[in-house]
Structure 1
Amino acid sequence: MAQQVNPPRGMRDFLPAQKLKRERALAIIREVYAAHGFDEIETPVIEDYARLHAGLGGDNEKLSFSILKRGLRQEQLENAVVTGTGDVLCDLGLRFDLTVPLARYYASNRADLPATFRAVHIGPVWRAERPQKGRYRQFVQADIDIIGEPGLLAEAELITATSAALARLGLAGCVIRINDRRLLAALLDYCGFNAADSDRVLITIDKLDKIGVQGVIDELRGFGAEFVTPAVKLEHILNSYSEAACAGDIALTESGIAAVLPADLAPEVTSALISLGEMVAPGLPAGVRLAFDPTLVRGMGYYTGTIFEIAHPGSGSSVGGGGRYDGMIGRFLSQSVPAVGFSIGFERIIDLIDLPPAADQRAVALIADKAVDPAVLLRIKAELIASGARVQIATRTKNVRPLLDRFELDGFTEFANVRPEHTSMHDLDFKVFAES
């Protein structure tokens, strides 16, 4: 029987053309973020088990991959299985996002960092997801975060930089939906839910786009009699704006917010959201706009203020998101440190964008006859490389078309036939793939 040769479920191999596209997209993201004043950092892919399960990562903690301690004896393994104390077997784990490692990084290196630190953090993360379309067990996150700035300037910079990156990638039609966790708390209080039940209620509201208003209300009523009356009030409110909110049709303006929220609900918070819209909207690139979404929850438990998500008509899920998490870094320090971050959903946007070849990128395929002297072929290749080209050699086949198609798919821009009489790159007749 043949051996299984596919990668593990939820993980992928990338062909050269796919890898090239991914790296070019990441290069664009890095270039834009650097231009906006963000500095790139790097952290280990492994963190301490206790840190990954300290309540900082919300539901993602349940999806973390753990690493067994070294030197465990067989009886320890067997005892852990019998007693159900598997956590004592692990001391490390693969990171499930980049936010928890960033918080640890800042706490470790704050003496060497500026008072307001703008970070770019890009790399793979791992979650024990159930694999499905658009959801993988290993995937790349591309984050920017601002630590140390408590005001709306931080949110404005993040939204501006992220929207600029989306525009450079050619991802038109994006809507950045914005809400605030404090506004959600005020809404639940207005409806009459107990504060102790707020997390449970928010988790249910977060399912609105999947199960609809009636599904949300039915689930809340099922929690107990004390949820029934508040659920009735919430149902009336959700019915008045849920469809417009999901479509991104509520303007992040004073009139837009006033039209969908109860009067005088958290006025300081709504005023801040209005100010954010006034700061950011005029400078947004074409193809990106803001919207107020009072149904936006963001599932992560560590968010404390402004939250945002990127919606795109080509994706059934958000293609990015983030928010303010002022309480997280303080868990590592004896003082509170304001922080806010925005993450591009790289694996989702990569399937939505079509990057044209870089104008200054010359990639040449040399199609060599079998009779060509290898030493001459290497000399021609060296000449082309010295001129700044990327070069790959292939031996001519009887049907050369599949060979040329593969080179074009892999991003090569030109090709040339090399025959025994050729001794230099200047002897070759270079042809552009698009014209062949």
Structure 2
Amino acid sequence: MRDFLPAEKARRERVLAVIRERYRAHGFDEIETPVMEDYARLHAGIGGDNEKLAFNVLKRGLDAEAVRAAADDPAALSDLGLRYDLTVPLARFYATHRAELPSVFRSVQIAPVWRAERPQKGRYRQFVQCDIDVIGDATPRAEAELLAATLDTLDALGLDGATVRINDRRALDAMLDVFGFAPAERPGVLITIDKLDKIGPDGVEDELRERGVTPSAVDAFAEFLRRPVTLEYNPYGERQIRKALPAGVPDEVIAHLVGLGEALAAVRGSDPIPGPPLVFDPFLVRGMGYYTGTIFELAHPDVGYSLGGGGRYDGMIGRFLGQDVPAVGFSIGFERIVDLVTAATDGEASAVVVVHDREVPASELLAHKAALVASGARVRLEQRTKNLRSLLDRAAADGYTAFATLAAGAEPGSLELRPLD
């Protein structure tokens, strides 16, 4: 968990303002949910490994004896916890307020979440997520809206070259069925497949054999991984999807994926070739247990890790509402993208430091400041020091772009602004 100095805080807020503005332009409405949710909801088996990283809140009023008695039962010690993502709170929010929301609800939620991570570069125990979700639409149009809004936002931030890897959990299940993996083996098999980029086909095959899963299925999968593959100019389309999957994947799953690409091409105004920046990846897994269909991850050529992702979770809201509602969401990893945003969003139109002599009366200082503020500038007053260079360097580090010097008797509006280099 981190502190942010004024310049960094201002920079983060400017990036967040761009994200909010672009999402709002695409018809998403911002909501807010509490930072805590019921313990049972956060540990309902739908959050994957994130449930193990949740910060739980000790019940009020427990004495030492009660704590000792419940030491092996976390549910007896805690009734609340800090949210570890924004999707579980959204599902609860929708189930609570459904009657007050449109039939197809497009939400934005931008807020901190907490996980008991082992701190390292890019991973923090408190971090901001930027989520957009479409609830109530089961068609590929919903995914296309999410992707169009996200790619438009990245464009507005100056992050050119991003691509979206796409797969479908139903395609993964069908593929494992075709190869002959038993249903009970598949969660572990998917964990291994998710490592393909890191350990390669040989490493995946070796780990699957170490798991002791069906040998003939491993043989079939290893053969599939090593089949000859020709590169495609357009990495996303029906031909490319069918070519990347074994025979036997249901046509309706492929049709859903193809429809997503066609819808996004229409939204983005792109020709079929080269088309939107989509790449079909038959081995994309994503670990969240609540995904039921399409899944996607956001990649950028400047970094070797994902900048965000999401997918369809049609079964989650039904756990709270009593009936299934189609839902799909996409989350931008704010902490990861904020460091990639270029200086184009860093500066303000006018941020001025007025360096004044000690003798300048307060009335004159405030009159000059008011004139600059009225012109649209952000203004800081600083009394002149012996080391003016150090004062100006500090102002520049805090995001100020210009300065002026002020002596007693100057007329308001007469200050000469000079750039802070």
TM-score range, shorter chain: over 0.9
1:180-203 Cα deviation digits (max 9, x unpaired): 000000000011001122222112
- 1:356 is paired with a residue whose SS is helix
Residue 67 of structure 2 is matched in structure 1 by 77
Among 222, 231, 237, which residue is 1:235 paired with? 222
Shift in Å, 1:96:
0.1
Q: Would the alpha carbon gap of residues 291 and 107 (structure 1) be closer, same or farther in structure 2, given more than 3 Å must change?
A: same
1:400 aligns with 2:388: yes
Residue 407 of structure 2 is matched in structure 1 by 419
Shift in Å, 1:412:
1.8
- The 2-side partners of 1:347 and 1:394 are apart by 33
Residue 15 of structure 2 is matched in structure 1 by 25
Q: How does 1:102-141 map to 2 (within 5 A)?
A: 102-141=90-129
Residue 367 of structure 1 is matched in structure 2 by 355
Q: Would the alpha carbon gap of residues 111 and 18 (structure 1) be closer, same or farther in structure 2, given more than 3 Å must change?
A: same
Q: How does 1:190-209 map to 2 (within 5 A)?
A: 190-209=178-197
Task: Check the 8 A contact 1:52/1:100 in 2, yes or no.
Answer: yes
Shift in Å, 1:421:
2.8
The number of equivalent residue pairs is 417
Shift in Å, 1:227:
2.6
Residue 238 of structure 2 is matched in structure 1 by 254
- The 1-side partners of 2:343 and 2:312 are apart by 32
1:347-384 Cα deviation digits (max 9, x unpaired): 11111111425887322111112222233212322232
Q: How does 1:309-324 map to 2 (within 5 A)?
A: 309-324=297-312
Task: Check the 8 A contact 2:14/2:345 in 1, yes or no.
Answer: no
Shift in Å, 1:423:
4.5
- 1:377 is paired with a residue whose SS is helix
Q: Would the alpha carbon gap of residues 30 and 201 (structure 1) be closer, same or farther in structure 2, given more than 3 Å must change?
A: same
Task: Check the 8 A contact 2:26/2:149 in 1, yes or no.
Answer: yes
- 1:398 is paired with a residue whose SS is coil
1:184 aligns with 2:156: no
Task: Return 233-242 or 209-218, whichever deviates more.
Answer: 233-242
- 1:222 is paired with a residue whose SS is helix
- The 1-side partners of 2:390 and 2:266 are apart by 49
Among 157, 164, 172, which residue is 2:160 paired with? 172
Among 43, 57, 73, which residue is 2:47 paired with? 57
Opposite residue 19 of structure 1, the aligned amino acid is: K
Q: Would the alpha carbon gap of residues 249 and 88 (structure 1) be closer, same or farther in structure 2, given more than 3 Å must change?
A: farther
- The 2-side partners of 1:132 and 1:101 are apart by 26
Shift in Å, 1:413:
2.5
Opposite residue 291 of structure 1, the aligned amino acid is: V
Opposite residue 367 of structure 2, the aligned amino acid is: R
Opposite residue 278 of structure 1, the aligned amino acid is: E
Shift in Å, 1:33:
0.6
Task: Check the 8 A contact 2:318/2:324 in 1, yes or no.
Answer: yes
1:212 aligns with 2:200: yes
Opposite residue 80 of structure 1, the aligned amino acid is: A
> How many percent identity over aligned positions?
58
Task: Return 273-282 or 122-131, whichever deviates more.
Answer: 273-282
- 2:103 is paired with a residue whose SS is coil
Q: How does 1:337-376 map to 2 (within 5 A)?
A: 337-356=325-344, 361-376=349-364
Task: Check the 8 A contact 1:242/1:295 in 2, yes or no.
Answer: no
1:242-266 Cα deviation digits (max 9, x unpaired): 997xxx9871112212322223422
- 2:405 is paired with a residue whose SS is strand
Residue 66 of structure 1 is matched in structure 2 by 56
Task: Check the 8 A contact 2:15/2:345 in 1, yes or no.
Answer: no
CA RMSD after TM alignment: 2.2
Among 27, 33, 54, which residue is 1:37 paired with? 27
Q: Would the alpha carbon gap of residues 377 and 295 (structure 1) be closer, same or farther in structure 2, given more than 3 Å must change?
A: same
- The 2-side partners of 1:288 and 1:263 are apart by 26
Task: Check the 8 A contact 2:167/2:281 in 1, yes or no.
Answer: yes
Task: Check the 8 A contact 2:174/2:248 in 1, yes or no.
Answer: no
1:308 aligns with 2:259: no
Q: Would the alpha carbon gap of residues 288 and 421 (structure 1) be closer, same or farther in structure 2, given more than 3 Å must change?
A: farther
1:401-428 Cα deviation digits (max 9, x unpaired): 222222223222321101123242x231
Among 13, 38, 51, which residue is 1:48 paired with? 38
Opposite residue 254 of structure 1, the aligned amino acid is: E
TM-score (norm 1): 0.91
Shift in Å, 1:283:
4.4
- The 1-side partners of 2:167 and 2:404 are apart by 56
Among 238, 259, 276, which residue is 2:260 paired with? 276
Q: Would the alpha carbon gap of residues 241 and 32 (structure 1) be closer, same or farther in structure 2, given more than 3 Å must change?
A: farther
Shift in Å, 1:312:
1.0
Q: Would the alpha carbon gap of residues 288 and 398 (structure 1) be closer, same or farther in structure 2, given more than 3 Å must change?
A: farther
Q: What 5-or-longer segments of structure 2 have no aligned partner?
A: none
1:431 aligns with 2:415: no
- The 2-side partners of 1:322 and 1:114 are apart by 22
Shift in Å, 1:237:
1.9
TM-score (norm 2): 0.94
Q: Which ranges of 4 or more aligned residues in structure 1 deviate by more than 6 Å?
A: 241-244, 285-288
Shift in Å, 1:429:
1.1
Among 375, 378, 392, which residue is 1:387 paired with? 375
- The 2-side partners of 1:367 and 1:213 are apart by 64
Q: Would the alpha carbon gap of residues 241 and 95 (structure 1) be closer, same or farther in structure 2, given more than 3 Å must change?
A: farther
Q: Would the alpha carbon gap of residues 431 and 146 (structure 1) be closer, same or farther in structure 2, given more than 3 Å must change?
A: same
Opposite residue 138 of structure 2, the aligned amino acid is: P
- 1:427 is paired with a residue whose SS is coil
Task: Check the 8 A contact 2:404/2:415 in 1, yes or no.
Answer: yes
Task: Check the 8 A contact 2:7/2:399 in 1, yes or no.
Answer: yes
Opposite residue 132 of structure 1, the aligned amino acid is: Q
Task: Check the 8 A contact 2:158/2:342 in 1, yes or no.
Answer: yes
- The 1-side partners of 2:211 and 2:234 are apart by 31
1:156 aligns with 2:140: no
